[in-house]
A and B are shown apart, each in its own frame.
Chain A
Amino acid sequence: MDVIFNPKFENAMFYATLAAYLMAIVLNWACIVFRSSLVEKYRNGVLIAAFAGNVATILLSLVRANALSIQLDPFRLVNPYQFVLVFVACIVLVNFGLLRREYAHMSATISLPIIGALLLYVVVIIQQPLLDLSASMIYRSWWLTGYMLTTAVADSAFAVAFGIGIAYLIKEYLSKTKKRGVLGQYLPSMEILDELGYRLVAFGFPFFSLSIILGAIWANIALGQFWSWQPKETWSIIFWLAYLAYFHVRMLHDWRGSRSAWMLVMGFTAILFTFIGISYFLPGPAINF
């Protein structure tokens, strides 16, 4: 039983998960090139193992954090490390839960590298929280946990939509230049990609709105003010307005095609900047998730 509470065990599980995801990225690309059912089987197996490892790492971190502060409050997400783990798991769930199988593997060619990059971000940048789950008492709140979960669901939908947007732009380029190639055959039609992108953003947007509301409620309870125009708060409202404008433009001007795809690509890039970049590039205090 003690092994569960040992940070080294959780650490090993985290690195095994990272390795499995990285392997899944390679195998997924190999599937496109070789079109072999054997490679597909390996990819599916590795992906399932990676996801299981991901869920196990989340549970381990929660159990360990719970054991560390059992007299205070149980099972709450408290730091950016846990957020990234949940975010990554949500990307897999949204990718394979919302999309049909053939489209899911197609979009995974881009969403899996995002997962790899996020986990490497944990290793290279966050580092310490991998072992240290202590956090200021102010972060130990169900409202904040709700905020983190809804943000993870919303961001993961935007991440998969980002992959679809990239796929659309590649498909468009290939059809304009009349090149088919391996990718041209692999990618579905532009109409399908456009609709998939919209469906993902439409799925994620209410969760994004809910996350803003939950974050504001937490800030009000913890800090006594629900909105203070901090950079992360302000960026989130900017994205909210931008996505709201996207839905209106799509309705008003039937905005489809490459403009819509660019919106998906830029939207998620900006969200990633808000998540990672603000803490490093802009002055002032910022919450890291």
Chain B
Amino acid sequence: MGDQLYNKNMLRFWRFFASMRFGLILMFLLAGAATLGILLPQEITTQNTLLGQISSFLGLNNVFATWWFHTLAYLLVLNASVCTLHRVSAVISVLRSPRMTVNAYDRLQAYQTFTTKERQQEVIDSFIQVLKSNRYRVLQSEDEEQPQLYADKQRLEVLGPVVLHSGIFILALGLTGLSLSGFAGTLTIPVGSSAPLSAMQQTTGTVNRNFAIRVDSAEQLITRTGLLNTAPNVSILANDAVVKTGQVEFNAPFTYQGVNIHLVQFIHGELVAVNGKPQIIRPNQPNYFPLTPTNDLYVAFTNMHPDPNRPTVDYMIVQPSSPQPLAQGSLRAGEGENYQNQFSFSLIGYQGSAVLHATSQPGLNFVLTGALVLLGGMFLTLYLRYRKIWLSFIADGDQLQVMAGGYSAKERLRFAIEFKALIDEARSLVGG
């Protein structure tokens, strides 16, 4: 009794996860959550207001990274996977052994009956000929007293949802792999300088490669429209030795050890060095950098004159707690300051810098395969129309009654026209 109840509950649970209804609910919830993510200001961080507290608790300031958003997405993947497993045997049986006979022809979507005086075998042959010429697969029942024909077309449609759901599953696997083991981040490297991968900013994931990128030079092409196409030459440094060189261009990443290095932007501006670290400064940007490791002293660069030949810049040394600058002055190219004999900064000159985006995406091939499988399933599901036709031949004295019925789940009106044309074509061959 206990086992039966357990099995019954398990079956109910399985069916619930396999149901289209559950999938639909999840799709609407995900769509709603994504809409929230767009419409709600994602920068609400204040804890002081009720809205801020609710927002913070639910993660509404970063919806797409919340546990509940990910849970919804994975539940949808689970639903698609269970649904596939649940239906795969039914799909195979439909493909391998379709239902050859029907009893109630008049209940089918399309239905016609007529009588003819032609011989039974000739009528059957005529129908087979017409159906086959219209690219139907024709199967004949072995009942000699009341022979029946079954014909179908584009039956691979039934495989479509299985393929589509499998695609979603593979896609989700790839995305999980990406989020668990991949990393991404941005590096801004002036021409002639290098930076280790570990110095990347706005990083996601853990950087597990130990090499540096050096921008050796930058070739510039200027088109007739004034469009700049810059292609920096880069070197990969491992233990200060060059291990690979190449060029990185827009839309053409450079790859080393599975890390793709993309050129996102090539910026020109004044290059300063703060405690020996090169930084590009540009007008209308927050050009301030920490001087001390404890971030209690900053150098801010203002009033820059980005003249490639004679660049200058003003500087201020500020403390976050004080509105008044502790020191200020002006720098020309090649000049520098040594504040309190501890912290140094200088204006190196006017220079170009490559903004590089480095990514490691170990699951990407899975993602792309999943996307292709999904797409294949979609084409099978939406571009094929599985149609079925049954024919029954009943001898009635010297006459033969032909009953024909057909079914298509999609585009019923179109199928009704097609069905009528098929039967009319066959009737024109046999009379009746």
Contacts and interface: CB of A to CB of B under 8 A. Distances in A.
Interface string A224-252: 11100101001101100110110111011
A195 B411 contact: yes
Interface stretch (A11-19, A22-30, A35-43, A132-140): A132-140
B25 to A, nearest CB: 10
A280 B28 CA distance: 26
A155 B251 CA distance: 26
Contacts of B158: none
B368 interface: yes
B224 interface: yes
16 contacts: A72-B227, A195-B412, A198-B410, A202-B382, A203-B382, A213-B372, A220-B359, A221-B262, A223-B357, A225-B184, A226-B364, A231-B38, A235-B38, A237-B34, A241-B28, A248-B23
B20 A248 contact: yes
B213 to A, nearest CB: 13
B357 A225 contact: yes
Contacts of B38: 231, 234-235, 282
Interface of B: 20-21, 23-24, 27-28, 30-31, 34-35, 37-38, 64, 184, 221, 223-229, 250-253, 260, 262, 264, 357-359, 361, 364, 367-368, 371-372, 374-375, 378-379, 381-383, 409-414
Contact of A251 (B20, B359, B361, B412): B20
A224 B411 contact: no
B34 A238 contact: yes
B298 to A, nearest CB: 28
Contacts of B21: 252
Contact of B262 (A68, A224, A235, A247): A224
Contacts of B226: 134
A137 B30 contact: no
Given A71-B221, A248-B23, A206 B379 contact: yes
Nearest to B378: A206
Contacts of B228: 137
A225 B382 contact: no
Nearest to A206: B378
Interface residues of A, number: 52
B262 A133 contact: no
A235 B39 CA distance: 11
Contacts of A140: 250-251
A156 B364 CA distance: 31
B393 to A, nearest CB: 32
A271 interface: no
B315 to A, nearest CB: 31
Contact of A252 (B24, B358, B368): B24
Given A224-B359, A234-B38, A134 B227 contact: yes
A195 B253 CA distance: 46
Contacts of B358: 224
Contact of A209 (B251, B378, B410): B378
The 7 closest A-B pairs by CB, nearest first: A224-B357, A134-B225, A224-B262, A137-B250, A202-B382, A241-B31, A245-B27
A228 B411 CA distance: 38
A141 interface: yes
Interface of A: 68-69, 71-72, 132-138, 140-141, 143, 191-192, 195, 198-199, 202-203, 205-206, 209-210, 213, 216-218, 220-226, 229, 231, 234-235, 237-238, 241-242, 244-245, 247-249, 251-252, 282
B364 A69 contact: no
**Interface-central residue, B30, B357, B372, B378, by most chain A CB under 10 Å:** B378
A138 B251 contact: yes
Contacts of B221: 71-72
Contacts of B250: 136-138, 140, 222
Name the prevailing secondary structure of the A interface residues: helix
Contacts, number: 129
A209 B374 contact: yes
A136 B263 CA distance: 12
Contacts of B414: 195, 199
Contacts of A202: 382-383, 410
Contacts of B251: 137-138, 140-141, 143, 218, 221-222
Contact of B64 (A71, A220, A222, A229): A229
B223 A198 contact: no
B225 A69 contact: yes
Given A71-B223, A72-B229, A252-B24, 6 more contacts: A72-B223, A138-B251, A224-B359, A231-B38, A247-B381, A248-B24
A18 B367 CA distance: 42
A282 B381 CA distance: 35
B37 A234 contact: yes
B224 A217 contact: no
B262 A222 contact: yes
B34 A213 contact: no
A198 B411 contact: yes
Contacts of A224: 184, 253, 260, 262, 264, 357-359
Contact of B27 (A68, A69, A135, A241): A241
Given A69-B225, A134-B227, A140-B251, A205 B27 contact: no
Contacts of A69: 223-225, 227
